[in-house]
Amino acid sequence: MNTIIEKIKDVKDAYAILDEAGDILKAGGLVAFPTETVYGLGGDALNSQASGKIYSAKGRPSDNPLIVHIAKKSSVYELVKEVDDKALMLMEAFWPGPLTLVFKKKDIVPYSTTGGLDTVAIRMPSHPVAMELIARSGVYIAAPSANTSGRPSPTVAQHVIEDMNGRIDMIIDGGAVGIGIESTIVDLTGDTPTILRPGYITKTMLEDIVGKVDIDPAIEHVDPSLKPKAPGMKYTHYAPKGELSIVEGPRDEVITGINKLVKNRRNEGFKVGVIATDETKCRYEADYVLSAGTRDDDLTVAAALYKVLREFDELGCQYIYSESFSEGHLGYAIMNRLLRAAGHRVINIKEEDI
């Protein structure tokens, strides 16, 4: 398949491209597009064949449901059985934006889109290209992240091209995304709203609007008997090809500790990488040292994390050691992704270990 690749700088100058993309979606084809979180791989959410194509383009297990993207809040009433007060308050506070809400679905939403579930995840993205594409196409867009299953989500069009060129009809290049990690998912089908996947919209931000919010225990613990409510969270996503470990402890000890670990692995003949920050980058001695951003602004870390993980795949490092990034607004979401990429391998360094 020949994939059309189009650049959009300003939505106002790109209506012809967006209409072409809309025609592809209406005809059951697939279009990758930027959102404020990560790039999405879109198809008509109400067309089972289109969702089938999404699963095969990604190589994704078909029990892993897709998020349905809408361009106006009122669309939710066409797709779900009940919108209660808490849902309305959250939609009012955070839509358009990086929050996905899970509702009980109406029959119009095919099981192929929801991975066989009676619930549907819905999000109204704030990225101008995404909004305009949904509105002009006239379809609701089912869109998982536009990566091959198991790879880090794409944060620039080049990542989508690497994974999807030749497999889908069109890729819209809208430049680098803003946030860099996927939306917060909140399940509204139980008594208490429950976070199924952490993201930019934090527990505190949600609780300020609706009161008590729970976190799905399966995303907090490494207990294999707990089954995550968001099926996608059970897969070892984002895992780089090399073995990634997170090193925790006081900053200077972490640097000394990582340098020691790197030295040992290099003595064994391995190629070794380090995920550092702008502040610490020059203090490591490894084959490759990549900065994930600055500690002064955790948004920079979220924005760079997936790019750095992809770069390590290309560099062919067999071992990667990463600093820990648990502080700041996005710390919880960043560590959720990093821990999964590391298969929960954490090395805790104390002064006496050095």
Determine the Cα–Cα distance for residues 287 and 285; give it in Å rounded to an integer: 7
Only one of the segments 2-10, 83-91, 181-189, 208-216 lies at the binding site for ligand TXA (rule: CB under 6 A); that segment is 181-189
Q: Which of 113, 118, 123 is nearest to 70 (CA)?
A: 123
Member of 133, 185, 276, 304 binding ligand TXA (CB under 6 A): 185
In the complex, least distance from residue 145 CB atom to ligand TXA, rounded to whole angstroms: 4
Residue 65 interacting with ligand TXA (CB under 6 A)? yes
Which three-class secondary structure state does DSSP give residue 290? strand
Q: Which residues in the 87-116 window bind ligand TXA by CB under 6 A?
A: 100, 102, 114
Q: Find which of ligand TXA, Mg ion, none residue 51 binds, CB within 5 to 8 Å per kind.
A: none
Q: Which stretch binds Mg ion (CB under 5 A): 101-109, 137-145, 161-169, 212-220?
A: 137-145
Residue 347's region, left for phi above 0, alpha for psi from -120 to 50, else beta, is beta
Residue 76 engages ligand TXA in binding (rule: CB under 6 A): no
Region from 16-24, 229-237, 238-246, 324-332 binding ligand TXA, contact rule CB under 6 A = 229-237
231 makes contact with ligand TXA (CB under 6 A): yes
Name the binder of 114 from ligand TXA, Mg ion, none, CB < 5-8 A by kind. ligand TXA
Counted residue by residue, the chain has a size of: 354
SS3 75: helix
**CB under 5 to 8 A by kind: which of ligand TXA, Mg ion, none does 322 bind?**
none
Q: Which residues pair with 41 in a beta bridge?
A: 32
Buried b (16+ CB within 10 A) or exposed e, 119-138: bbbbbbbbbbbbbbbbebbe
Helix (H), strand (E) at residue 68: strand 67-69
Using CB under 5 A as the binding rule, whether residue 183 contacts Mg ion is answered as no
Choose, by CB under 6 A, the member of 8, 14, 80, 121 that binds ligand TXA.
121
Q: Which stretch binds Mg ion (CB under 5 A): 145-153, 220-228, 260-268, 288-296?
A: 145-153
- 117/106 Cα distance (integer angstroms): 11
Question: Which two structure tokens, joined as six digits, stand for 131?
Answer: 């909004």
Which position among 37, 51, 145, 280 is part of the footprint of Mg ion (CB under 5 A)? 145
Task: Give start and end residues of each alpha helix (H) in 147-216.
Answer: 157-164, 203-210
Which is closer to ligand TXA, CB of 37 or CB of 51?
37
User: Does residue 38 interact with ligand TXA by CB under 6 A?
Assistant: yes
DSSP, residue by residue, 216-260: -GGGT---TTSPPSSGGGGS-TT--SSEEEEEESSHHHHHHHHHH
147-181 burial by CB neighbour count: b if 16+ within 10 A, else e? bbbebbbbbbbebbbbbbeebbbbbbbbeebbbbb
- Region binding ligand TXA by CB under 6 A among candidate stretches 168-176, 226-234, 258-266, 322-330: 226-234
Q: Site size for ligand TXA, by CB under 6 A?
A: 30
Q: Which one of ligand TXA, Mg ion, none is in contact with 31 (Cβ closer than 5 to 8 A by kind)?
A: none
Cβ–Cβ < 8 Å for 145, 41: yes
Q: What residues from 13 to 32 belong to the interface with ligand TXA (CB under 6 A)?
A: none
Residues in contact with Mg ion by CB under 5 A are 145
Binding site for ligand TXA (CB under 6 A): 35, 37-38, 40, 64-67, 100, 102, 114, 117, 119-121, 123, 125, 143-145, 182-183, 185, 196-197, 229-233
